[in-house]
Amino acid sequence: MTDLAKLKTSLTKEGAYKIALVLASYPSSQVLDHLNRSLPRVKIDKVQAKKNLSAYLGIVPSIWSDALAHSDAHLRALTLVGIVFSHYKLIDLLKASGTGYLQGRVVFGSAPLSRKEFTNLRGDFRKLGFVTNEQGNDVFDYDFSTFLRLAGLSVLVNELLKLKIEYAGWNHTGTPAEEFLRLGFYDVLSMSRENFKNWINQSDESTSSTSSTSLSEDDADYYDDRSKVFPRAFEFKAGHMEKKEGTVQISKPKNRMEASLLHNQIQNRMFLHLVEKYGEERVGTEIATRSGTKIDCIAIDDEKSIFYEIKTARTAKACVRQALSQLLEYAYWDLEERNVELVVVSQNRNTRHCSDYLEFIRQNFGIPIFYQQFNLLDNSLR
C-alpha cells in the first residue's frame, strides 16, 4: 500500500530549485556529479537532489533530459513537481492551499513547516516562476496554469509521480493514474478530479495537438475565465537561462521536438544579440505575466518595452498568425495603456506582403506590431 509518509527529504536546505540549472548544463547521467559548485553559486545537497529527481538508486531518470528537450518551461515545471512530491508535508500543504482552478495561496503557520522550511519553499516557487503575488514574508500566491499549456508535460509528470509512489510502496494495483486519484494528487495541483484524470492520462501525441478537445490551449489557459485584472501585466527581470539547442533543421521544422529546439536556439542567440544592443540589465527572457503566461523576451529601450514572441512555423505569415494574439494579450490584457513595441521573430525571411500587412495594422489600428527575422548564420535580427 502506498504510504506517502515515506516521501521525505530535508526542507531546511535551501536552493532545491537550482537542480534545474544543473540539469540544463550537464547530461542527466552527470548531474549528480555537479551539485557542488560546478556552477557559480550552486551547491545542492546530494541526498535532497536524488529524492527530488527520484534518482533513488543514484541514476537520474531519463524524464529529466526529456523535459529539457521540450523546453526550459517543461524543466522548471517538472522540477517544481519533483520538489513538492518529495515530502509528504508539502503534498499535504498544497492539498489544503488551493484557492481556485490551478491556483493557490500558502500561508506561514497553516502547516507544520518551520520558518526556514517555509522560506525555502517560497524561494523554490518564486525562482521556478510560479509565484504570482507575495504579502510580506508570510504569504505567497501561486499559479499552475502553465502546466496545461505545456504539450507533453503530463506524460513527464505521470512518469515522475509513478516513481514517487513506487518509492512509497505502491503495490501496482490498478494503473498509476488510478493511484494518483486515490491519493488525491489532483488537489495538490488545484485541479478537479476529472480534469486531472483527463490531463494525466494524455499521451505525448495528444498533448502536442492543437486540436485536442479535452485540453486545448483555450481550455488550458482559460478554464477559469480569467476576466479579472491583474495588478501588473508583467514583472521585468533581466537575464536568461540558456536552453538546449542540439541539431535542428533551420528552414522547416518537421515535428514538435525539432521546433522546440529551434525555438531554444533562436532565443539563446537573440538574447546575446539584444544584450549587445541594450545592455545586460535591460534584456530578459521567459518573463512571467500575471495571467500565467510567459513572454519569450523583453528588451527595455529607454521608456519603451519591446516584447518579442518567437515562432518557428514554416512561413512568416504563419508565424505572424500564431504570435499576434499572444503579443496583444501580453501587452493589453490588464486593460492598461503602455509604451510597447510588439515583435514577431522567426527564422523565416520577411515578405513584401507580410510587411505591408503589418504596416496596414499599424496605420489603421494603431497597434505597434512588427516582424523580424533572426538570422542564425550571423546571429542578427533584421
- DSSP states of 227-285 as a string? -SPPS-SB----B-------S--SS---SHHHHHHHHHHHHHHHHHHHHHHH-GGGEEE
Q: All 3 cell numbers of residue 150?
A: 505545456
Q: CB burial class (10 A; 0-12, 13-18, 19+) of residue 382? A: exposed
Residue 273 shares a structural domain with residue 134 = no
Do 274 and 349 reside in the same domain of the chain?
Answer: yes
- Interval 361-372: pLDDT, tens: 999 999 999 999
In a domain, 161, yes or no: yes
pLDDT reading at 292 higher than 70: no
pTM: 0.58
Give the 3-state secondary structure of residue 304: strand
For 144-167, the pLDDT digits (tens) are 999 988 989 999 999 999 999 999
267-306 per-residue burial string, b: 16 or more CB within 10 A, e: under 16: bbbbbebbbeebeeebbbbbbbbbbbbbbbbbbbeeeebb
Asked, for residue 237, whether it belongs to a domain, the answer is no
Count the domains in the chain: 2
Q: Quick one: 263 and 376 in the same domain?
A: yes
CB 208 within 8 A of CB 151: yes
Q: How many CB atoms lie within 10 A of CB 136?
A: 7
Q: Indicate if 293 and 371 belong to the same structural domain.
A: yes
In a domain, 211, yes or no: no
Residues 91 and 187 in one domain: yes
Q: Which domain holds residue 278?
A: 256-381
Q: What are the start-end ranges of the H helices in the chain?
A: 19-25, 46-53, 63-70, 72-84, 88-95, 115-127, 146-149, 153-167, 176-182, 185-188, 193-200, 204-208, 217-222, 256-278, 316-332, 352-365
Residue 276 belongs to a domain? yes
Of 178, 200, 222, the residue at which a domain comes to its end is 200
Q: In a 3-state reduction of DSSP, which class is residue 132?
A: strand
238 in any annotated domain: no
Residue 305: which CATH number?
A: 3.40.1350
**247 lies in some domain:** no
More confidently predicted of 366 and 70: 366
Which of 109, 106, 123, 189 lies closest to 154 in space, CA to CA? 189
Window from 146-155, 249-258, 279-288, 317-326 with minimum mean pLDDT: 249-258
Q: What is the pLDDT of residues 161-179, one digit of tens each?
A: 999 999 999 999 999 999 9
56 SS3 class: coil
Q: Do 18 and 93 fall within a single domain? A: yes
Each residue of 40-64: pLDDT tens digit?
Answer: 889 999 999 999 999 998 999 999 9
Mean pLDDT calculated for residue range 113-141: 94
**pLDDT band for position 277 (cuts 50, 70, 90):** very high
